Amino acid sequence: MALKKGADEAEVFIIESLGKGFTIEKNSISSISGGMQKGIGIRIVKDKKLGFAYCTDEDKADLAIEKALSLSKLGKETKFTFPEPDKTKKIENIFDKRIVEYSAEDALKGISNLINSGLKLDSELVVTRGGMGYGHESFVVVNSNGLQVEDKGTEIHASVNMVLKKDGLSTGFADHSSRILDIDYEAIGMDCAELTLKGQNAKKFENKELTVVLTPHAFSNLLEFITAPALYSEAAHKGESIYSGKLGEVVTSETISIIDDGSLAGGLNSSIVDDEGVPSKRNELISKGALLGFMYSQGTAIEFNAKTTSNAMRAERLGSSRNYKSLPNVKARNIIVEGDTKSVEGLISEVDEGIIVYEVLGAHTSNPASGDFSVDSPILFKIEKGEVTYPIKSAMLSGNFPDCLKKVHALGDDYKLLTGSLTPVSFFIPTVSLGGVRVTG
């Protein structure tokens, strides 16, 4: 249809999703949301210029095509062309029929177990906030170069935050996200309650630089806002990344590798293709410390004379899911940090003096161009002679994260699937012990 109206090339992206969400406040469910989303994004190339428009109804596709053609006149000339069809491979554990069939009654029972399991440990605990959601989506990418591909997936998640006002104020959190129905509500509630109780009688901490153990949650926040953006092709090629001009150089500890894998089995951001229809793949970005490459979409690959790495995602800048209203941009899929691992207990036992950090706040203010960060941590504990000894009152953590990654001491074996906090990236990462962080109490 778009070609008949004068487009030289065209692409259609269709997404349909159905889900339900529950918000938890003050030990009970405060709201329920959900419904279906369906939309169509249309891109065209006309006279070497790109145009984009969207609609929610197939009957309005004609108008969207005309709008895309009209908007293309305002664009800059480009060498862009849509991807050619290529072979895809099945990805395990990204669709579970049981989640499609999951009912609101199932969810309500699970949430009740989550709340009550935590309160059993101390009746004065209060669930300040939390949530649970589940759903499924399908999407289709079709273009005029013969590409036509579709995929579907499911997801379920639950999270909870608790507070205890007894011997001082302490907080805790726990969560779980998965593509399959493997959620244990009671374990989430218990984990949150135990962490909250451990935070009682916190002490003020002196200012010093020392070894810091970041749990997967804390680690993911710094990766999300510093490391991942620094490995995006546009920033790297334009000199806006700490890694610009450093291909082949050792940029982290040689004990770790950093991978982005859109084909990860069970990955929260896995699908057989990216949002331009390019088959998902595993991309080793940093191998044993050496910088091997960056993440590319079809557009940035053409612009910078490289190959796409299947990292095109349609999501708002601070959005957390696919969106037909957005143009494809380079985003990490599933960031993985690999290396030799050991138990978290073994990792901690090697720390003579340090802290273990469960949560950081404010990582979005970090500078990916320099790698500098300054974040607050409300949940952290002192480590002395290989043992966790006491909770610490809220403290600031600061440093240069690329430098910290050069001082990685060890990785734990507690790999966890995590979503990004504000952006549509996902992770499969463990606890990490590293140096170069200054703690200010």
What is the distance between the alpha carbons of residues 360 and 398, in angstroms, rounded to a whole number?
A: 11
Q: Do residues 173 and 199 make contact, with C-beta atoms less than 8 angstroms apart?
A: no
pLDDT at res. 322: 83
Strands 432-440 and 208-214: antiparallel
What is the DSSP code string of 26-73? TTEEEEEEEEEEEEEEEEEEETTEEEEEEESSGGGHHHHHHHHHHHHT
pLDDT at res. 185: 98
Helix (H, G, I), strand (E, B) or coil at 370: coil
Q: How does DSSP classify residue 241?
A: S
Scan for tokens 């989640």, then name that residue.
99
Strands 148-166 and 408-412: unpaired
Radius of gyration of the chain measured on its C-alpha atoms: 23
pLDDT at res. 217: 98
For the entire predicted model, the pTM comes to 0.95
Task: List C-alpha distances in Å: 261 to 174, 215, 270, 282, 311.
Answer: 25, 21, 8, 4, 9
**CATH 3.30.2290.10 domain extents, the chain:** 9-198
H or E segment to which residue 161 belongs = strand 148-166
Residues of the chain where predicted confidence (pLDDT) is lower than 70 = 317-320
What is the distance between the alpha carbons of residues 12 and 303, in angstroms, rounded to a whole number?
A: 22
Scan for tokens 């579709």, then name that residue.
150
CATH H-level, domain 9-198: superfamily: PmbA/TldD superfamily (3.30.2290.10)
Q: How does DSSP classify residue 365?
A: G
Query: Which residues touch 4 (CB under 8 Å, ≥6 apart)?
Result: none
